Amino acid sequence: MTTHPRPRRPFWGDIRFLVGVVLVILSIAGVWLIVSSARDTTPVLQANRTITQGESLASGDFRVVEVSLGAVVDGYLAPQDLQPGMIAARTVESGELLSTTAAADAQSGRTTNIVVDSSVGIPARVEAGTPVELWYSPPLEDDGEYDAPRILAADVVVASIPESDGMLAQRSAAVELVIDRADVADVLAAINAGAALSIVPVGSGS
Protein backbone atom coordinates (compact mmCIF):
# COMPACT_ATOMS: atom_id res chain seq x y z
CA MET A 1 0.00 0.00 0.00
CA THR A 2 1.40 3.32 -1.09
CA THR A 3 1.15 6.29 1.31
CA HIS A 4 0.87 9.71 -0.31
CA PRO A 5 2.40 12.57 1.67
CA ARG A 6 -0.01 15.29 2.87
CA PRO A 7 0.35 18.41 0.74
CA ARG A 8 1.93 21.31 2.59
CA ARG A 9 0.11 24.67 2.87
CA PRO A 10 1.73 27.28 0.68
CA PHE A 11 4.06 29.65 2.49
CA TRP A 12 2.10 32.72 1.37
CA GLY A 13 -0.99 31.33 3.14
CA ASP A 14 0.82 31.31 6.50
CA ILE A 15 2.01 34.89 5.96
CA ARG A 16 -1.54 36.06 5.22
CA PHE A 17 -2.74 34.48 8.46
CA LEU A 18 0.00 36.18 10.46
CA VAL A 19 -0.75 39.56 8.85
CA GLY A 20 -4.41 39.11 9.79
CA VAL A 21 -3.49 38.42 13.40
CA VAL A 22 -1.25 41.50 13.51
CA LEU A 23 -4.04 43.69 12.09
CA VAL A 24 -6.49 42.45 14.69
CA ILE A 25 -4.00 43.18 17.48
CA LEU A 26 -3.34 46.67 16.11
CA SER A 27 -7.06 47.37 15.86
CA ILE A 28 -7.64 46.33 19.46
CA ALA A 29 -4.68 48.41 20.62
CA GLY A 30 -5.96 51.44 18.69
CA VAL A 31 -9.42 51.22 20.27
CA TRP A 32 -7.84 50.87 23.70
CA LEU A 33 -5.69 53.97 23.14
CA ILE A 34 -8.68 56.01 21.99
CA VAL A 35 -10.75 55.00 25.01
CA SER A 36 -7.84 55.65 27.35
CA SER A 37 -7.13 59.09 25.89
CA ALA A 38 -10.82 60.02 26.10
CA ARG A 39 -10.74 59.27 29.83
CA ASP A 40 -7.47 61.21 30.32
CA THR A 41 -8.50 64.79 31.12
CA THR A 42 -6.41 67.80 32.10
CA PRO A 43 -7.38 70.88 34.14
CA VAL A 44 -7.06 74.05 32.05
CA LEU A 45 -8.22 77.67 32.34
CA GLN A 46 -11.41 78.83 30.63
CA ALA A 47 -12.29 82.54 30.46
CA ASN A 48 -15.53 83.46 32.23
CA ARG A 49 -15.65 86.86 30.49
CA THR A 50 -14.16 88.55 27.44
CA ILE A 51 -10.60 89.68 28.14
CA THR A 52 -9.22 92.29 25.78
CA GLN A 53 -5.70 92.46 24.41
CA GLY A 54 -3.24 93.99 26.87
CA GLU A 55 -5.46 93.36 29.90
CA SER A 56 -3.94 91.73 32.98
CA LEU A 57 -4.77 88.07 33.47
CA ALA A 58 -6.13 87.27 36.94
CA SER A 59 -7.33 83.99 38.39
CA GLY A 60 -10.76 85.50 39.04
CA ASP A 61 -11.29 85.87 35.29
CA PHE A 62 -11.11 82.12 34.74
CA ARG A 63 -12.68 78.87 35.85
CA VAL A 64 -10.93 75.52 35.84
CA VAL A 65 -12.38 72.89 33.51
CA GLU A 66 -11.37 69.29 32.88
CA VAL A 67 -10.93 68.62 29.17
CA SER A 68 -9.37 65.95 26.99
CA LEU A 69 -6.75 67.63 24.82
CA GLY A 70 -4.54 64.72 23.89
CA ALA A 71 -1.33 65.71 22.14
CA VAL A 72 -2.15 69.45 22.18
CA VAL A 73 -2.35 69.69 25.97
CA ASP A 74 0.89 71.70 26.10
CA GLY A 75 -0.75 74.43 24.05
CA TYR A 76 -3.05 75.50 26.92
CA LEU A 77 -2.47 76.96 30.37
CA ALA A 78 -3.26 75.03 33.53
CA PRO A 79 -4.11 76.88 36.79
CA GLN A 80 -0.53 76.66 38.03
CA ASP A 81 0.76 78.23 34.79
CA LEU A 82 -0.94 81.58 35.43
CA GLN A 83 1.74 83.86 36.85
CA PRO A 84 1.59 87.47 38.17
CA GLY A 85 2.33 90.03 35.47
CA MET A 86 0.78 88.08 32.61
CA ILE A 87 -1.37 89.97 30.10
CA ALA A 88 -3.59 88.95 27.20
CA ALA A 89 -1.57 88.87 23.98
CA ARG A 90 -4.85 89.01 22.06
CA THR A 91 -8.55 89.18 22.86
CA VAL A 92 -9.76 86.06 24.70
CA GLU A 93 -13.47 85.45 24.22
CA SER A 94 -15.74 84.38 27.08
CA GLY A 95 -15.77 80.57 27.27
CA GLU A 96 -12.48 80.22 25.37
CA LEU A 97 -9.71 78.01 26.72
CA LEU A 98 -6.60 80.04 27.51
CA SER A 99 -3.91 79.02 25.04
CA THR A 100 -0.22 79.68 25.57
CA THR A 101 -0.21 82.03 22.56
CA ALA A 102 -2.94 84.18 24.15
CA ALA A 103 -0.80 85.02 27.20
CA ALA A 104 2.34 87.12 27.43
CA ASP A 105 4.55 88.85 29.95
CA ALA A 106 3.57 92.47 30.63
CA GLN A 107 7.05 93.69 29.69
CA SER A 108 6.62 92.28 26.18
CA GLY A 109 3.31 94.07 25.62
CA ARG A 110 3.23 96.43 22.62
CA THR A 111 -0.14 98.02 23.36
CA THR A 112 -1.65 100.60 25.68
CA ASN A 113 -5.14 101.95 26.39
CA ILE A 114 -6.48 105.37 25.43
CA VAL A 115 -9.97 106.81 25.95
CA VAL A 116 -11.33 108.78 22.99
CA ASP A 117 -14.66 110.45 22.19
CA SER A 118 -16.38 109.16 19.08
CA SER A 119 -18.03 112.14 17.35
CA VAL A 120 -20.63 110.02 15.53
CA GLY A 121 -21.60 107.65 18.33
CA ILE A 122 -20.82 103.98 18.70
CA PRO A 123 -22.62 101.21 16.77
CA ALA A 124 -24.72 98.95 18.97
CA ARG A 125 -22.77 95.83 18.00
CA VAL A 126 -19.50 97.29 19.24
CA GLU A 127 -18.52 95.93 22.66
CA ALA A 128 -15.42 94.94 24.62
CA GLY A 129 -13.17 92.83 22.40
CA THR A 130 -14.56 94.15 19.09
CA PRO A 131 -11.83 94.89 16.50
CA VAL A 132 -12.30 98.37 15.06
CA GLU A 133 -10.57 101.07 13.04
CA LEU A 134 -10.05 104.56 14.43
CA TRP A 135 -10.82 107.20 11.78
CA TYR A 136 -10.29 110.94 12.09
CA SER A 137 -11.20 114.12 10.23
CA PRO A 138 -8.69 116.96 10.76
CA PRO A 139 -10.26 120.39 11.35
CA LEU A 140 -9.99 122.98 8.58
CA GLU A 141 -8.72 126.42 9.48
CA ASP A 142 -11.18 129.15 10.52
CA ASP A 143 -14.40 127.76 9.02
CA GLY A 144 -15.30 125.14 11.62
CA GLU A 145 -15.45 122.41 8.98
CA TYR A 146 -13.48 119.16 8.82
CA ASP A 147 -11.32 117.60 6.15
CA ALA A 148 -12.13 114.24 4.56
CA PRO A 149 -11.97 111.32 7.04
CA ARG A 150 -9.03 108.96 6.96
CA ILE A 151 -7.73 106.03 9.02
CA LEU A 152 -5.72 107.04 12.07
CA ALA A 153 -5.11 103.58 13.55
CA ALA A 154 -6.16 100.32 11.89
CA ASP A 155 -5.24 97.61 14.41
CA VAL A 156 -7.46 98.63 17.33
CA VAL A 157 -9.55 96.68 19.87
CA VAL A 158 -12.29 98.06 22.12
CA ALA A 159 -11.37 97.61 25.78
CA SER A 160 -14.57 99.05 27.25
CA ILE A 161 -17.29 101.64 26.72
CA PRO A 162 -17.25 103.39 30.11
CA GLU A 163 -19.81 106.11 29.42
CA SER A 164 -22.05 104.57 26.78
CA ASP A 165 -24.57 101.78 26.39
CA GLY A 166 -23.43 101.35 22.80
CA MET A 167 -26.54 102.86 21.17
CA LEU A 168 -25.99 104.42 17.76
CA ALA A 169 -28.38 107.26 18.65
CA GLN A 170 -25.76 108.84 20.89
CA ARG A 171 -23.96 111.66 19.03
CA SER A 172 -20.91 111.51 21.27
CA ALA A 173 -19.62 108.67 23.42
CA ALA A 174 -16.40 107.77 25.21
CA VAL A 175 -14.71 104.49 24.36
CA GLU A 176 -11.54 102.93 25.76
CA LEU A 177 -9.34 101.52 23.01
CA VAL A 178 -6.36 99.15 22.99
CA ILE A 179 -3.87 100.55 20.47
CA ASP A 180 -0.33 99.84 19.42
CA ARG A 181 2.20 102.01 21.24
CA ALA A 182 3.54 103.12 17.86
CA ASP A 183 0.19 104.85 17.19
CA VAL A 184 -0.06 106.69 20.52
CA ALA A 185 1.66 109.88 19.36
CA ASP A 186 -0.56 110.21 16.27
CA VAL A 187 -3.75 109.60 18.27
CA LEU A 188 -2.83 112.14 20.95
CA ALA A 189 -1.86 114.68 18.29
CA ALA A 190 -5.24 114.24 16.58
CA ILE A 191 -7.06 114.70 19.89
CA ASN A 192 -5.09 117.82 20.77
CA ALA A 193 -5.73 119.27 17.29
CA GLY A 194 -9.49 118.91 17.76
CA ALA A 195 -9.99 116.29 15.05
CA ALA A 196 -13.32 114.49 14.83
CA LEU A 197 -12.75 110.84 15.75
CA SER A 198 -14.92 107.90 14.69
CA ILE A 199 -15.02 104.22 15.68
CA VAL A 200 -15.66 101.93 12.71
CA PRO A 201 -16.09 98.16 13.21
CA VAL A 202 -13.73 96.19 10.99
CA GLY A 203 -15.44 95.14 7.78
CA SER A 204 -18.27 97.67 7.93
CA GLY A 205 -16.62 100.32 5.76
CA SER A 206 -16.12 103.99 6.53
- Which segments of the chain does DSSP mark as H helices, in order? 11-39, 184-192
The one-letter code for the residue type at 169 is: A
Q: What Å distances lie between residue 129 and 2, 52, 178, 201, CA to CA?
A: 94, 5, 9, 11
Whole-number pLDDT of residue 92: 92
The pLDDT tens digits for 68-105 are 777 777 889 999 999 888 999 888 999 999 999 999 88
Distance between start and end Cα atoms, the chain: 105
Please give the pLDDT value at position 3: 55
Domain ranges of the chain: 42-107, 110-201
CATH number of 42-107: 3.90.1210.10
* pTM, two decimal places: 0.63
Burial status of residue 155 (CB atoms within 10 A of its CB: 0-12, 13-18, 19 or more) = middle
pLDDT in tens, 150-195: 999 998 999 888 754 444 444 357 899 999 989 999 999 999 999 9
Task: Give the pLDDT of residue 163.
Answer: 53
**Of 142 and 194, the one with more pLDDT:** 194
Tell me the CA distances in angstroms from 170 to 35, 110, 121, 126, 176, one per residue in order: 56, 32, 5, 13, 16
